[in-house]
């Protein structure tokens, strides 16, 4: 079924047969090809363009209730594949001798699929890379055209694509080929005056071709990024204030990612993934209220254009929407076949790996807060004193993601139902702080307007795996504390 020039289906099939022959009770193989090309443009100069290709096979076997995994880079012969299988088997066998019976892996049953999925793109970025370079140059020019007083210290644009072909085969009978392309651009401007440096940035793109950037109004956004960075030089820091906030979809994306998405991963709920703030603040609370009745959260890999879009996960499970929170009640988690067996639920396509060389982990795909029916104007009008939070920067969270602080690009004051425009209403170096139950209980409005934002570097696991995904939501109104790090 696989007609990809870069992937040899016969070698993948051999791995399945050989693993069963040596005694594995289950085996799956991910055979992947990746092509990447990225550019970095700094201060109107192309600093570098990097091109790479990679191909390899990840072999995962289950032996006596224990996993073994081995990756083979650039496999070219049956002997290499058989050796990889045997190494995976030895690792699993060794682990199995140290497991107690209660800790042995059991897999929830899944349907086997034979399918070929092309996640489409209209403009192949591989063939139009010169157009991507031109768009990056035009965006840089737009930033510099706004710098009449020469206050921009640095402009930076990174842009590129990853093209992936991924074959999944399993001893359950699945044979699935997926192809997709990610096209992304990050734009950043830093303004400088005296001892003050202010940076504003934005990422656009998603799973698709160059059309995603051409339709994203990149030039206007680049101009606005530079203007905002320059304006922040005249902005004031915010004094600590617990108040009503409206958070824009970009900020909500990072908030959702850190405080709703990661705690929804079943391995974290079970306490299996404690590295890198690996707990879950709502562990053991399925069926209980964790927020306002206006809070609805889903993870949905089927959302087209999102960096987390796929039709099958890395266990061959067919993708579907996972409802995590319904009207403020925690109703579900992201599951693997292994954790689904523990929770006695169906697997829901939550497993992904960064590449063939890694074991898959439970990961977000496209986790977002669902929109409601408010307009942004209505949400602002009701606030006597508060703030509107623009853009995401850096999160800081505790081990269970209960207490959190997230810095934003900037904030604006809201007074008597109106946003205070200009430098006098703009606040710099702002962090937003809260604790999860109190914050989510305070949500009293979500806009009808919403956006899924690209998240480029989410880390999880040991060894660390970085992965892309989508996160987002509407404008959200709630109560939290703002404070500038400069105060």
pLDDT tens, 69-114? 999 999 999 999 999 999 999 999 999 999 999 999 999 999 999 9
Query: Does the N-terminal peptide bond of residue 463 adopt cis geometry, omega within 30 degrees of 0?
Result: yes
Instruction: Give residue 278's pLDDT.
Output: 76
Residue 170 · residue 27 · CB < 8 Å: yes
The predicted structure's pLDDT at residue 484: 97
- Read off the pLDDT band of 273 (50, 70, 90): confident
102-157, pLDDT tens digit by residue?
999 999 999 999 999 999 899 999 999 999 999 999 999 999 998 988 999 999 99
**Does position 258 have pLDDT exceeding 50, yes or no?**
yes
- For the segment 271-278, the average pLDDT, to the nearest whole number, is 77
Q: Which of 57, 377, 423 is nearest to 233 (CA)?
A: 423
Spatial separation of the C-alpha atoms in residues 245 and 176, rounded to whole Å: 45
Q: State the pLDDT at residue 146.
A: 86
Per the CB < 8 A criterion, the answer to whether 299 and 337 are in contact is no
| Cβ proximity of 310 and 164 under 8 Å | no
Q: Of 4-8, 127-131, 269-273, 439-443, where does mean pLDDT reach its minimum?
A: 4-8
CA distance 213 to 206: 9
pLDDT value for 406? 98
pTM of the entire predicted model: 0.96
Residue 5 has pLDDT above 70, yes or no: no
The CATH number that domain 9-117 falls under is 3.30.2290.10
Say what the pLDDT of residue 73 is. Answer: 98
Structure tokens at 315: 């266990």
430-470 pLDDT per residue, tens: 999 999 999 999 999 999 999 999 999 999 998 999 999 99
Domain ranges for the chain, please list them. 9-117, 124-156+184-235, 237-484
Is residue 4 pLDDT above 60, yes or no? Answer: no
What contacts 133, CB < 8 A, 6 or more positions away? Answer: 39, 46, 159
Over residues 463-480, the mean pLDDT reads 98
Q: What is the mean pLDDT of residues 353-380?
A: 98
């Amino acid at each position: 079924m696989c007609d990809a020039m870069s992937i040899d289906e016969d070698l993948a099939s051999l791995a399945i047969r050989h693993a069963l022959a040596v005694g594995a009770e289950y085996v799956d193989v991910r055979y992947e090809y990746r092509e990447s090309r990225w550019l970095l443009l700094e201060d109107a100069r192309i600093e570098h363009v990097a091109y790479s290709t990679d191909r390899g096979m990840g072999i995962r076997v289950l032996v006596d209730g224990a996993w073994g995994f081995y990756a083979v880079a650039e496999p070219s012969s049956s002997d290499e594949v058989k050796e990889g299988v045997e190494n995976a088997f030895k690792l699993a066998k060794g682990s199995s001798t140290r497991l107690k019976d209660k800790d042995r892996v059991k897999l929830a049953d899944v349907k086997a699929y034979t399918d070929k999925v092309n996640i489409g793109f209209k403009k192949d970025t591989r063939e139009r890379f010169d157009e991507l370079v031109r768009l990056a140059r035009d965006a840089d020019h737009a930033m510099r055209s706004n710098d009449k007083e020469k206050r921009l210290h640095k402009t930076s644009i990174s842009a590129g694509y990853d093209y992936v072909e991924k074959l999944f085969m399993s001893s359950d009978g699945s044979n699935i080929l997926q192809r997709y392309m990610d096209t992304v651009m990050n734009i950043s401007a830093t303004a400088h005056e005296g001892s003050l440096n202010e940076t504003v940035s934005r990422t656009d793109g998603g799973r698709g071709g160059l059309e995603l950037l051409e339709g994203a109004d990149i030039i206007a956004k680049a101009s606005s990024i530079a203007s905002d960075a320059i304006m922040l030089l005249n902005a004031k820091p915010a004094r600590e204030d617990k108040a009503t906030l409206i958070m824009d979809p970009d900020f909500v994306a990072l908030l959702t990612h850190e405080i709703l998405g990661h705690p929804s991963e079943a391995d974290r709920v079970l306490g299996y993934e404690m590295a890198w703030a690996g707990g879950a603040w709502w562990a053991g609370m399925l069926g209980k209220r964790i927020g306002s009745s206006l809070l609805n959260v889903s993870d949905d890999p089927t959302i087209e254009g999102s960096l987390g879009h796929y039709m099958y996960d890395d266990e061959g499970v067919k993708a579907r929407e996972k409802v995590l929170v319904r009207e403020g009640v925690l109703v579900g988690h992201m599951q693997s076949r292994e954790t689904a067996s523990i929770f006695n639920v169906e697997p829901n396509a939550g497993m992904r790996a960064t590449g063939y060389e890694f074991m898959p982990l439970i990961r977000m795909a496209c986790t977002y807060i669902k929109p409601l029916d408010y307009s942004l104007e209505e949400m602002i009008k009701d606030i006597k004193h508060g703030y509107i939070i623009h853009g995401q920067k850096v999160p800081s969270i505790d081990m269970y993601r209960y207490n959190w602080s997230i810095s934003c690009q900037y904030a604006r004051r809201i007074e008597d139902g109106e946003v205070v425009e200009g430098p006098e209403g703009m606040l710099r170096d702002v962090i937003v702080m809260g604790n999860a139950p109190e914050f989510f209980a305070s949500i009293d409005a979500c806009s009808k307007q919403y956006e899924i934002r690209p998240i480029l570097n989410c880390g999880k696991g040991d060894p660390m795996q970085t992965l892309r995904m989508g996160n987002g939501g509407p404008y959200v109104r709630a109560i939290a504390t703002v404070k500038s790090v400069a105060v």
